[in-house]
Amino acid sequence: MSRLRLIDRLPPVRGSLTAEVPLASYSWFRVGGPAEVLFEPADRDDLLAFLSAKPATVPVTVIGVGSNLLIRDGGVPGVVVRLGRNLAGIVQEGCVLRVGAGAIDPAVAAFARDAGLAGMEFLSGVPGSIGGALRMNAGAYGGDMESITLAATLADTEGRLHRVKGTDLRFSYRHCVVAEDWIFVEAELAGRPDRSDLIAERMALIRINREESQPMRTRTGGSTFANPPGQQAWRLIDAAGCRGLVVGGAQVSEKHCNFLINLGTASAADIESLGEQVRTRVLASTGVALAWEIRRIGVGTAGERR
């Protein structure tokens, strides 16, 4: 008797379950192999029911809009849960926004602007969604998630909800203490009253800064490496002579060398190899070991887990 495919062992859902879905189009790098199964929940309850009923041994990997993500060429075993528009609601409650984890960061900034709530302008310069922003304490242009998060709601591996105060998330630079297998589903974000036109001016300055300093409209994953304490990763990369470095179809951006770019023909292996070459050169020239900020998931083409 043939072995059942994974999708045939999963519980029914109201959203969509699809086997062997190519994931390259779900990543800003436009590279990567397939998801063994892709699950797009109809809503939060659909996600919770799935988590509570799926076999305990089935691994789950969560993705959002794929902006700070490298999907390896061999694909992702188990179930890939994509949190999208069905978990992207935004509701205002006074000076607090209750935001679904699938909400796009710039959309949250725009909602806050229109509501006359300041403090979330930095999100207009953070590509990605709120779930990922919470996971890595995303920050830019003088703001970060720690400064605005009152609480977050998470689903554990068995589909139970937990509301966690922002202070208990113990945010630090590009990190929080939440277990990797728990899923952010909602955030309560605090703003402060201000004029919408003034908020819009600050957001416009952020947009101009991004366009001048970062490679826009390219196949990239955003900032590749976290800044070491007291230093800037791009300066270390530049000093190590890596600006413009190429591996296969991947290149270190000439405009901002903490960005890696898919020139159009790169594989995930090219991009990851390029990143590792950058790390090696920076370590050799400066003694600093850069840490990946981009999240890397899946397996290589030979099937090995990395």
Retrieve residue 124's tokens.
Answer: 């207009």
Of 27, 67, 223, 253, the catalytic one is 223
The per-residue pLDDT for range 193-230, each reduced to its tens digit, is 999 999 999 999 999 999 998 988 899 998 999 999 99
Q: Specify whether 124 is located in the same domain as 184.
A: yes
Q: Specify whether 163 is located in the same domain as 72.
A: no
Say how many domains are in the chain.
3
- Whether 67 is a known active-site residue: answer no
Q: Specify whether 249 is located in the same domain as 158.
A: no
Per the domain annotation, does 209 fall within a domain?
no
Q: Specify whether 172 is located in the same domain as 274.
A: no
Q: Specify whether 183 is located in the same domain as 118.
A: yes
Q: Specify whether 185 is located in the same domain as 250.
A: no
Q: What is the structure's pLDDT at 302?
A: 66
Would you say how long the chain is, in residues? 306
Q: What is the CATH number of the domain that holds 56?
A: 3.30.43.10
Per the domain annotation, does 171 fall within a domain?
yes
- Number of other CB atoms surrounding residue 179 within 10 Å: 9
Of 40, 121, 188, 293, the catalytic one is 293
Per the domain annotation, does 244 fall within a domain?
yes
Q: What is the CATH number of the domain that holds 101?
A: 3.30.465.10
Q: Specify whether 106 is located in the same domain as 76.
A: no
| DSSP for residue 121 | G
- Whether 174 is a known active-site residue: answer yes
Q: Specify whether 21 is located in the same domain as 103.
A: no
Looking at 42, 69, 85, the residue that finishes a domain is 85
Q: What is the structure's pLDDT at 216?
A: 83
Looking at 85, 116, 133, the residue that finishes a domain is 85
Looking at 36, 63, 85, the residue that finishes a domain is 85
> Can you tell me the distance from the alpha carbon of 181 to that of 260, in angstroms, rounded to the nearest whole number?
28
Per the domain annotation, does 218 fall within a domain?
no
Q: What is the pTM of this model?
A: 0.93
Q: What is the structure's pLDDT at 303?
A: 46
Of 174, 202, 243, 296, the catalytic one is 174
Q: What is the structure's pLDDT at 42?
A: 98
Q: Specify whether 180 is located in the same domain as 138.
A: yes
Per the domain annotation, does 124 fall within a domain?
yes
Residue 95 structural domain: 87-199
Q: Specify whether 181 is located in the same domain as 137.
A: yes
SS3 of 37, please? strand
Mean pLDDT, the chain cut into blocks of 10 residues (306 residues total):
81 97 96 98 98 96 95 98 96 98 98 98 95 95 96 97 97 94 98 98 96 89 94 97 97 96 97 98 97 96 54
- Number of other CB atoms surrounding residue 188 within 10 Å: 18
Q: What is the structure's pLDDT at 217?
A: 83
Ramachandran angles phi, psi of 83, nearest 5°: -90, 110
Per the domain annotation, does 142 fall within a domain?
yes
Q: Specify whether 45 is located in the same domain as 102.
A: no
Q: Specify whether 72 is located in the same domain as 137.
A: no
- Whether 160 is a known active-site residue: answer no
Helix axes 196-213, 105-114, angle to 10 degrees: 150
Per the domain annotation, does 299 fall within a domain?
no
